Amino acid sequence: MPFNVFEIKKFSISDSVSLPTRDEIEEKYKWDLSHIYETDNKWEEDFIWVEKNISNYKKFEGKLSEDSNVLLECLQFDDSIGMKIDRLHLYASLAKDSNMKVFKYQAMDERILNLATKVSSAASFIRPELLEIPVEKLKLLIDSKNELKVYKHFFDDLLRTKNHTLKKELEELLAQSSEITQVPYNAFSMFTNADMKFPIIKDDEGNDFEISHGRYYTAMYSLNRNFRERAFKNYLSEYKNYANTFSVLFNGNLKTNIFTAKARKYNSTREAALDRNNIPVSVYDELIRSANINFKPLHRWASLKKKILKLDELHPYDVYVNLFQNGPEKKYSFEEAKEIVLKALKLLGEEYLSSLKKAFNNRWIDVHETQAKRSGAYSSGTTFGIHPYVLLNWNGLLNDVFTLAHEMGHNMHSFYTGNSQPYPYANYSIFLAEVASTFNESLLLDYLIDNSESKIEKLDLMEKYLSNITSTFYRQVMFAEFESSVYEKVESGIALTPDLLCKLYRELYQKYWGPEMIIDEEEDYTWTRVPHFYYNFYVYQYATGFAASEALVKKVKEEGEPAVKKYLNFLMSGSSDYPINILKSAGVDMNSPEPVLAVTKKMDYLLNEIETLIE
């Protein structure tokens, strides 16, 4: 079947060097934000409602210990404000990401961040005031009113963090600073997505090719090595040109997080970040330790790539190219991809598939790459009372099919959580966030391997699995080790110059990929372009999530319906318990090393299978 990159009325990618505008994309491939607010004016009405009601926090201040009715009214009022803020933020951020050059939505996004800061400041008395109530009295208040029992886990978690909650005045001060602390990431995002201009180069057929974030990744899969090298060097050279600017933004982000951790009396920024979800620092340390003693599979993979590609030297721009393609890489329309994903996830039952179809058929997804649209892909997470949305930048490669499965894993996790939990728990921790997404990817890969029609197709799919392990496990552990290293240096008073950041990144890249990898200077600047480094110890959870999902897939395949039921209950659990406990209920113990080590063992198994097939 012929493939059309964009199924639209006026545009074909072959007609233009430039990306299409948003107006050139059919409506069915754009998310429908009217599900959140029918018009911008409706958004304004809720914005004004929140502004007018912020002052009502005052009537609860100093009175939370009086009786259970006041306590309940305060918590429910805070929830009602939170629901509005979440909804306002969702609309503004999605509208902004649709076209980052529309100043109106940039302004709306800034306004809601400012309003959220005011709300946070007004509500900042709640936690410290609750912690001033003697524990026994607080328990009596909770037990005396049935409606308060829904907040039991909230109170348990509050008491757990008592030593890191400050007095009311200091909490208010920290809340007021939140808008400032977001500046480094906001500046990074705006600069890289809207202001940076990448050069036009020749593609693998000699045509002009305007590099973008999405097209860079497409180029890395090209079979034409010269084109890969040109795209790699031209893309990263732009980041190198602004290394000083990125260094200032990066250091600013580190220092804001260090400031907050110190203010809350944590021993380190990493401890502070992990404590939000009650994750022991030992989990992070064990992840890095176990990866460092299990580099052999990754080094084997590098050696095998070099051998099959018949290269004298393996470079970073050779990492993604497919080894076993039989002719040009197959392309997929978005419609084809949806059908493949539905078939791959059939094991999860009709209820899950029905929810997935609802998302596909009701414009929850923004599909194609357009001018000034935010790069990458994401799912918007849970917004109480509103379905989650997904952003894609579709290029039609197999990797895009996996991205769809991945983001719909997030999407369904948010959808099930939002439909199953009350507002206080209608979200899930970052630690759990990557489990459902990589779970879907694993099922998709198994489905495609099982339905492969030739040895070369099977080899190609096994390579895909290895690439998943490389990018979702090893690469993220490498990022986690880099992040830990840079924080330790800043916390000990060492200045992070661009040269030092490049050196640190290069050393880790060499260690992980091993002696076969020859590192180009441009790769040293990858630290400048990773948005997740602004998320404060986020990336390690890709690796732990990948390991947990591998264990869950194994259980679902071996145990059938009972394991599926446990998995769906996992999707519904939200933040009703600590993430370690939620995973344990699903059948995975993250306090043991087995889930992580299972990934490296799976990689060894796949390498053995590939080597057998190519003999």
Catalytic residue among 172, 407, 522, 550: 407
Least confident of 157-166, 299-308, 413-422: 157-166
| Residue 415, helix vs strand vs coil | helix
- Give residue-wise pLDDT tens across range 23-42: 999 999 999 999 999 999 99
User: Distance between CA 491 and CA 447 in Å, rounded?
Assistant: 47
Phi, psi of 208 (to 5 degrees): -65, 140
pLDDT attached to residue 137 = 94
pLDDT attached to residue 359 = 98
pLDDT attached to residue 4 = 27
pLDDT attached to residue 100 = 92
- Quote the Cα angle for 367-370-375, to 5°: 75
User: Distance between CA 39 and CA 31 in Å, rounded?
Assistant: 14
Residue 527 contacts residue 247 (beta carbons within 8 Å)? no
458-462 average pLDDT score: 91
pLDDT attached to residue 17 = 55
pLDDT attached to residue 326 = 67
150-158 average pLDDT score: 94
Measure CA of the first residue to CA of the last residue in the chain; give whole Å: 33
pLDDT attached to residue 349 = 96
pLDDT attached to residue 185 = 92
- Give residue-wise pLDDT tens across range 291-309: 999 999 999 999 999 999 9
Contacts (Cβ under 8 Å, ≥6 apart) of 343: 447
pLDDT attached to residue 592 = 78
Tell which residue, 376, 320, 390, 368, has the closest CA to residue 192. 376
Residue 460 pLDDT more than 60?
Answer: yes
Q: CA dist 56 to 74, 118, 309, Å?
A: 9, 13, 67
Tell which residue, 391, 395, 428, has the closest CA to residue 406. 391
Six token digits for residue 354:
């029905």
User: Distance between CA 174 and CA 168 in Å, rounded?
Assistant: 10
Residue 10 pLDDT more than 60?
Answer: no
pLDDT attached to residue 14 = 34
Residue 444 pLDDT more than 50?
Answer: yes
pLDDT attached to residue 440 = 96
User: Distance between CA 534 and CA 186 in Å, rounded?
Assistant: 10
276-304 average pLDDT score: 93
Describe the crossing of helices 498-513 and 243-263 by its angle, rounded to 10 degrees: 90
**Beta-ladder partners of 379:** 390
120's enclosing H/E stretch is: helix 103-122
Contacts (Cβ under 8 Å, ≥6 apart) of 554: none
Task: Write down the mean pLDDT value for the chain.
Answer: 92
Residue 6 pLDDT more than 70?
Answer: no
Q: Which of 202-211, 495-504, 549-558 has the highest mean pLDDT?
A: 495-504
Residue 365 is classified by DSSP as E
Least confident of 207-216, 514-523, 591-600: 591-600
pLDDT attached to residue 15 = 37
| Residue 10, helix vs strand vs coil | coil
- Give residue-wise pLDDT tens across range 465-490: 999 899 989 999 999 999 999 999 99
39-56 average pLDDT score: 98
Query: What pLDDT band is residue 8 in, cutting at 50, 70 and 90?
Result: very low
Rounded to the nearest 5 percent, the helix, strand and coil shares of the chain are 70, 5, 30
Tell which residue, 182, 26, 189, 57, has the closest CA to residue 127. 57
Q: Provide the whole-model pTM.
A: 0.78
For residue 55, with 0-12 CB atoms within 10 Å meaning exposed, 13-18 middle and 19 or more buried, which class applies?
Answer: exposed
Q: Report CA 571 to chain centroid distance, whole Å.
A: 17
| Domains of the chain and CATH, by start | 26-181 (1.20.140.70)
pLDDT attached to residue 13 = 32
200's enclosing H/E stretch is: strand 200-202
Q: Torsion angle, CA of 54/56/57/62, rounded to 10 degrees?
A: 160
- Give residue-wise pLDDT tens across range 181-206: 889 999 999 999 888 999 998 888 88
Radius of gyration of the chain (CA): 25
Question: Could you tell me whether strands 365-368 and 390-394 are parallel, antiparallel, or unpaired per DSSP bridges?
Answer: parallel
Residue 484 contacts residue 269 (beta carbons within 8 Å)? no
- Give residue-wise pLDDT tens across range 201-233: 888 888 888 898 888 988 998 889 999 999 999
User: Distance between CA 562 and CA 404 in Å, rounded?
Assistant: 27
44-50 average pLDDT score: 98
Residue 450 pLDDT more than 60?
Answer: yes
407 carries an active-site annotation: yes
155-176 average pLDDT score: 86
443-459 average pLDDT score: 91
User: Distance between CA 283 and CA 274 in Å, rounded?
Assistant: 9
Of residues 327 and 60, more confidence is placed in: 60
pLDDT attached to residue 165 = 82
Tell which residue, 26, 160, 43, 145, has the closest CA to residue 91. 43
- Quote the Cα angle for 571-577-582, to 5°: 50
Least confident of 215-229, 231-245, 411-425, 520-534: 215-229
**Beta-ladder partners of 365:** 390
pLDDT attached to residue 327 = 65
271 residue type, one letter: E
Contacts (Cβ under 8 Å, ≥6 apart) of 431: 277, 279, 541, 544, 545, 579, 580
13 residue type, one letter: I
